[in-house]
Amino acid sequence: MIKMYGIPNCDTVKKAKKFLEENNVEFEFVDFKKVTPTEKEILSWKKSFGDWPVNKRGTTFRKLKEDFEAANDKEVISLISENLSVVKRPILEKSGKTLCFGFDKEVFGSLV
């Protein structure tokens, strides 16, 4: 089963959801506004790509940049959990494996 994590009003998430729906790809949507990711999930995302799943060009990150730069891993997890709009969206998982952060045409196309 495919899981997509994101925020419903995010344009990139809307684009990703539309793509999956138009191509009849079944998925479960996990709304960050209703379900905060666990520490285990956040660490898993970091492990998958070697970096935290944050959008470093986003407004939220720019406001918190100094906090992120000064934080240890535990503090980064707290910053992400408390400021979910900092997460690069959507996060796509299949069978517990993280496939991508953001809308990656190649990854999404491989699901069709």
| Residue 60 · residue 86 · CB < 8 Å | yes
Partners of 87 in the β-ladder:
54
86-96 burial, b at 16+ Cβ within 10 Å, e below that, comes to bbbbbbbbeee
Q: Which of the residues 7, 10, 71, 107 is marked catalytic? A: 10
100 is catalytic: no
Known catalytic residues are 10
